[in-house]
Amino acid sequence: MAQTNMLAMILAGGRGSRLHDLTNKVAKPAVSYGGKYRIIDFPLSNCANSGIDVVGVLTQYESVLLNSYVAAGGRWGLDTKDSGVFVLTPREKADSGLDVYRGTADAISQNIDFIDAYDPEYLLVLSGDHIYKMNYAKMLAYHKEHNADATIAVIGVPKKEASRFGIMNTANDGRIIEFEEKPAKPKSNLASMGIYIFNWKTMRKMLIDDMKNPDSSHDFGKDFIPVMLEEGKALYAYEFSGYWKDVGTIDSLWEANMDLLDSENELNLDDTSWKIYTEDTGTMPQYIGSTAKIDRAYINQGAVVKGEVSSSVLFSNVRIAEGAKVNDSVLMPGVVVEEGAVINRALVADGVRIGKNAKVGDKKSEDILLVAKNVKGEA
């Protein structure tokens, strides 16, 4: 098999428990976003746009839908003779008897043979559950320029929030001199984005050694980065300045969708120079009825609106009946809002029906309400 310069591995096996009912039967990377996308579309599209031909997607939890979705590599143009998206599942047994990845690094260790088949010079490791656009080819050029052993993408976060992240403390030239995992008193605000470039030969040896270590957590952040720093290896921080969202909670997923209402939003899903590819749903165009009132909304194909919508995002095939009101809310694919129903500050899951004259959410609430089950209305 021909050598590839850089191969990508997307870690897509997390449970996403903070998304509650949204991930009961669907892996977090397969959760819907932005009207017609899934979260996994972003790292896959970034790979395709960055010229990366071979991508392994490492799945684990509730992976049936995700596996079938990413196996169609043609969505991202990764289905040619020399390219592809490959679903990789765990082989190690946990105490429960189930196959599992024991950590982020173990997920790569279990797939060394797959990586070796392509003999890459560099390995790109990505989280599969963040929303952002990034040119990984530019990050690789930075990695080469600094003759790095590893390069870690970082983003500046508000100092008051830095204690929630893995923080990289750097010298003036960008070299990482210290890594702190969720420090109580952070020294900098450069948060790890969970995006790594490693020299494959160096990382391969470390992975094999780690597999033999019974005391390891088999995790890049907890084990590998500290060891590489102790050994004096050259680790560099690649600063990213664009839109990036960790959609790990209901509130953050709601916020990421609501960001699309801003015509100047940094993500800009209409940018033809860096397209985010997804499944073609094949539905009819959206329909806005004569009784509809729309004020600042992001409405996708197949949606039918006959009621009032204000500051909300409507996914494909949403139905809003006459007399219904939707405010400050995100309605996922197939949601039906019947006559007279009112929704405020909510995220409504796929296929949920809000009954006639039902009241959902509170416009004064600080938190976003997740509605994952049908809401009965008047008989």
81-118 pLDDT tens trace: 667 888 888 876 555 545 778 888 999 999 999 999 99
CA distance 41 to 243: 15
The letter for the amino acid at 264 is E
250, 256, 252: which is closest to 33 by C-alpha?
256
pLDDT of 333 > 70? The answer is yes
Answer yes or no: are the C-beta atoms of 345 and 369 closer than 8 Å. yes
Q: For 65, list phi and psi in degrees, rounded to 5.
A: -65, -45
Question: Which residue did the predictor score with more confidence, 235 or 160?
Answer: 235
For the chain, what is the HEC assignment?
CCCCCEEEEEEECCCCHHHHHHHCCCCHHHCEECCCEECCHHHHHHHHHCCCCEEEEEECCCCHHHHHHHCCHHHHCCCCCCCEEEEECCCCECCCCCECCCCHHHHHHCCHHHHHCCCCCEEEEEECCEEECCCHHHHHHHHHHCCCCEEEEEEECCHHHHHHCEEEEECCCCEEEEEEECCCCCCCCEEEEEEEEEEHHHHHHHHHHHHCCCCCCCCHHHHHHHHHHHCCCCEEEEEECCCEEECCCHHHHHHHHHHHHCCCCCCCCCCCCCCCCCCCCCCCCCEECCCCEEEEEEECCCCEECCEEEEEEECCCCEECCCCEEECCEECCCCEECCCCEEECEEECCCCEECCCCEECCCCCCCCEEECCCECCCC
Please answer whether residues 44 and 10 qualify as being in contact, where contact means their C-beta atoms are separated by less than 8 angstroms. yes
Q: For 182-206, write each residue's pLDDT tens digit.
A: 899 999 999 999 999 999 999 999 9
Q: What is the pLDDT of residue 1?
A: 45
Greater confidence (154 vs 97) lies with: 154
What amino acid is encoded at 353 in this protein? R
User: What is the reported pTM?
Assistant: 0.93
Name the amino acid, one letter, at 243. Y
Determine the average pLDDT of the residues in 53-69. 86
**Confidence tier at 377 by pLDDT (50, 70, 90):** confident
Cα–Cα dist 268/204, whole Å: 37
Residues 6+ apart with CB under 8 A from 281: 36, 301, 302, 316, 317
**140 neighbors 51 (Cβ within 8 angstroms):** no
Calculate the average pLDDT of the chain: 91
Closest CA to 107 of 150, 45, 60: 60
pLDDT tens digits, one per residue of 263-304:
888 999 989 999 999 987 777 889 999 999 999 999 999 999
Q: What is the pLDDT of residue 221?
A: 86
Q: How far is CA 62 from the centre of its chain?
A: 16
CB 303 within 8 A of CB 316: yes
